[in-house]
Structures are given as C-alpha cells and as structure tokens.
Amino acid sequence: MNEGEKMLKVSIIGASGYTGGELIRLLLTHNQVEIVDITSRQYDGEAVYKVHQNIRDSNLFFTGKTPSEIDADLVFTATPHGASMKIVPELIERGIKVIDLSGDYRFNDTSIYEKWYGMKNDSDLKATYGLPEIYRKEIKKSNLIANPGCFPTGAILSSYPLIKEELVDRIIIDAKTGVSGAGIKPSDSTHYPNIADNVNPYKISTHRHMAEIQQELNGFDDVKVSFTPHLVPVIRGIQTTSHSILKEENIDSSELKKIYEKTYENEPFVKLLNKDETPHLSSIRGSNYIHIGGYDIDETGRIIMLSAIDNLVKGASGQAIQNMNIINNFNEDDGLKAIGLNP
C-alpha cells in the first residue's frame, strides 16, 4: 500500500474452525489489512498455532472478546448457524461492516431459512448475497454480506449462464465434497474408517444448501432444481456435476462454450477449461479459483457441466475476502493471488 494510507482493521469472530484458520492464512498475505482480533471463547489467550498449526506468527493469539468489545472496520463472523443473527445486528448498529459466513442471512425469505435450518430467525437485517460474479455492484454498496455456502458456489456458477440465457428448465446437481466441509469437530460420519474407500451420499434430498441453490437459480418459480451431496475421502474440494435439460432451443457445445465465455470473460477467479478438459480438485486446492468445464450435450438434450472449487477458499474464506476487497475498493485479488497446489 502507499505510504500514509490507513490499514483496514479486521476482526474474526469464531476463528478456531477451518474457515477461521483460512481467513487468518489468507489475510496475512494482504498488504492493506491489519488483523486486530481473533476470537474464540474456548481458546482465549492461546497462541493461534496451537489450533492452526500452519500459522506460526508469534504475535497472533485468540481472545475471548465479546462483539461489544471489538473495535474494527470490518468483521468476519465465522460462527455456527443461529449464532450470527445474535451478533451481527450489534456490529451493524455500531457502523462495522460484516461478512457473515453462516447461513443466517443468505435467504431473501426468512421462512425458507427457518424451514431448512430448523430455527427461528428474528433478525430484520437484509444482506447482499456475496457471490461477486453475479452481485458485484450490490456487494460494493453493502455493509452486510451473506457469504454463500460451499456447495451453492460450485453449483450456481456452473449453471448460472444457462439460467441467464433461459436455456434450461430442469437442473440436477450431483456434488462430491471433501471431509473438511463437515468442520473441525470430529464425528462418526467423518471418522477415517467410515469414509476411506467410500463414496457416501447423505441428506440425499434434504440438504439445506438445496434451498440456497434454488433461490439463486430461480428454482422456486421457473426452474426445477435437485441436489444430492456425497462425501468422498479427500480433505478439500467440491466436484460438481450439473445435468440440465434443454428447452426447445437448438444449441451445440461450441455455442454453449461461447455463452460461458461471454458471461465470465471479466471474472478474475473463473477459469473456463477447454472442451477436452475436466476440472480436478488438485488444480484448485488452496486457491480462490473455480474451474468450469464440460459443455457437453447428449442426444436427449441433457447439458453436462462440471466445476471444481476448494470448499474452504472459494467456497468460504477466500470468497469472503474477495467480498471484503470489493467493499473496500481494493484490487479484487489482493490476498488471493495463489494458484492451486497440484499435485
């Protein structure tokens, strides 16, 4: 940054989980940001490396500060669903901008949230859905961003051009996710012997992210959307296969590719692969990029599109920082220039 420019003071509430660790890792490479608070009631006073062993900055410690004690320009709330709605209103009232990584503010209709998340949402705050490739103008003017879910990010971006051009009326999404998507706390479903050598479908028609995907792909009205997730024995990444049914329009794969190129031509983190390539999780690991490929149309009129993201970066913390950059008129790739780790 230029001499004399003020650093953006940033705090992370709920920083002991995987998304909190990724926020710290990425923000430490951002030259216009100062991390002023990293909160965790459980680890109050502990060095950050005791939880996030890759982060060996000796000056970083968890604090048990309450939201009312935080003094920052912008706060990331990496808290569980239901907790953010109790924290965010006070921060907004104090003039602090907030990027919330939970599901509490992602829905236009709170009754949809209550149905899928099983809890009351009494907050009357309205947030901007933080998918920059679609809502960049709105994000720029907002003081509360609802960071998208990981599955929805891969599913929406791989299908959005089809919806934008009104080419399809049915989308079936099959997604495979790494185990880090379940969070840092161990469970029976993430125990190594239960996932190794397996592909485990779960919540096959009831995953809460389906409602988020439906909302953004207009699925409650014109387009029918189905979604089934699978847990696979990898640590990071989401591989999405989208099957979309063409309307009556005739289109071939080369025309389809041109539609995607037109939609995403100025997007810094969307990489469109060639027709003979497919996205690989190893190519985006650790990065904020989404790789999109496929562009196939079979004889039944089914379009097959593929995408790959890192669920902890473009699917969570990286996208949150991308939103922070947009809000503050930083370069959109500040702190996010790393490419994927392959192999």
Query: Per-residue pLDDT for 298 more than 60?
Result: yes
Domain that holds residue 53: 8-126
Residue 324 lies in a domain: no
Q: How much is the pTM?
A: 0.96
Same domain, residue pair 202 and 304: yes
Of 213, 143, 222, 139, the closest CA to residue 174 belongs to 213
- Of 2-11, 166-175, 233-242, 330-339, give the lowest mean pLDDT range: 2-11
Enumerate the active-site residues.
150
Residue 316 lies in a domain: no
Q: Confidence band (pLDDT; 50, 70, 90) for 57?
A: confident
Residue 317 lies in a domain: no
Q: Return the pLDDT at 2.
A: 56
Q: Give, in order, the Cα–Cα distances in Å from 256 to each of 78, 106, 251, 288, 296.
A: 37, 30, 7, 24, 8
82-133, pLDDT tens digit by residue?
999 999 999 999 999 999 999 999 999 999 999 999 999 988 899 999 999 9
| Overall domain count for the chain | 2
Q: Return the pLDDT at 250.
A: 83
Q: Return the pLDDT at 123.
A: 87
Same domain, residue pair 155 and 302: yes
Same domain, residue pair 122 and 201: no
Q: Confidence band (pLDDT; 50, 70, 90) for 249?
A: confident
Same domain, residue pair 113 and 215: no
Residue type, 122: D
Q: Return the pLDDT at 219.
A: 59
Same domain, residue pair 111 and 163: no
- Report yes or no: 238 and 150 within 8 Å, Cβ to Cβ: yes
Query: Per-residue pLDDT for 6 more than 90?
Result: no
Q: Give, in order, the Cα–Cα distances in Å from 63 to each of 42, 66, 178, 320.
A: 9, 9, 30, 21
Q: Return the pLDDT at 51.
A: 96
Q: Return the pLDDT at 173.
A: 97
Residue 145 lies in a domain: no
- Report yes or no: 233 and 253 within 8 Å, Cβ to Cβ: no
Residue 340 lies in a domain: no
- Report yes or no: 73 and 97 within 8 Å, Cβ to Cβ: yes
217-242, pLDDT tens digit by residue?
975 557 899 999 999 999 999 999 99
SS (H, E, C) the chain: CCCCCCCEEEEEECCCCHHHHHHHHHHCCCCCEEEEEEECCCCCCCEHHHCCCCCCCCCCECECCCHHHCCCCEEEECCCCCCHHHHHHHHHHCCCEEEECCCCCCCCCHHHHHHHHCCCCCCCCCCEECCHHHHHHHHHCCCEEECCCHHHHHHHHHHHHHHHCCCEEEEEEEEEECHHHHCCCCCHHHCHHHHCCCCEECCCCCCCHHHHHHHHCCCCCCCEEEEEEEECCCCCCEEEEEEEEECCCCCCHHHHHHHHHHHHCCCCCEEECCCCCCCCHHHHCCCCCEEEEEEEECCCCEEEEEEEECCCHHHHHHHHHHHHHHHCCCCCCCCCCCCCCCC
125-155, pLDDT tens digit by residue?
999 999 999 999 999 999 999 999 999 999 9
Average pLDDT over residues 37-43: 96
Average pLDDT over residues 295-311: 96
Alpha-carbon distance of 149 to 70, in angstroms, equals 26
Same domain, residue pair 84 and 118: yes
Contacting residues for 185 by C-beta, under 8 A, at least 6 apart: none
Same domain, residue pair 19 and 116: yes
Alpha-carbon distance of 277 to 308, in angstroms, equals 12
Residue 133 lies in a domain: no
The number of angstroms, rounded, from the C-alpha of 310 to the middle of its chain's C-alpha atoms is 9
Same domain, residue pair 12 and 160: no
Q: Return the pLDDT at 269.
A: 98
Same domain, residue pair 179 and 306: yes
Where residue 184 sits, what CATH number does that domain have?
A: 3.30.360.10
Q: Return the pLDDT at 343.
A: 85
Residues in the chain: 343
Q: Return the pLDDT at 272.
A: 98
Average pLDDT over residues 297-314: 96
Query: Per-residue pLDDT for 190 more than 60?
Result: yes
Residue 198 lies in a domain: yes
Same domain, residue pair 303 and 160: yes
Of 169 and 239, the structure prediction assigns the larger pLDDT to: 239
Q: Return the pLDDT at 223.
A: 87
Where residue 18 sits, what CATH number does that domain have?
A: 3.40.50.720
Average pLDDT over residues 234-258: 93
Q: Confidence band (pLDDT; 50, 70, 90) for 67?
A: very high
Alpha-carbon distance of 90 to 95, in angstroms, equals 9
For the beta carbon of residue 171, count every other beta carbon within 10 angstroms.
Answer: 25
Average pLDDT over residues 195-206: 94
Residue 335 lies in a domain: no
Same domain, residue pair 122 and 25: yes
Same domain, residue pair 24 and 104: yes
- Report yes or no: 263 and 161 within 8 Å, Cβ to Cβ: yes
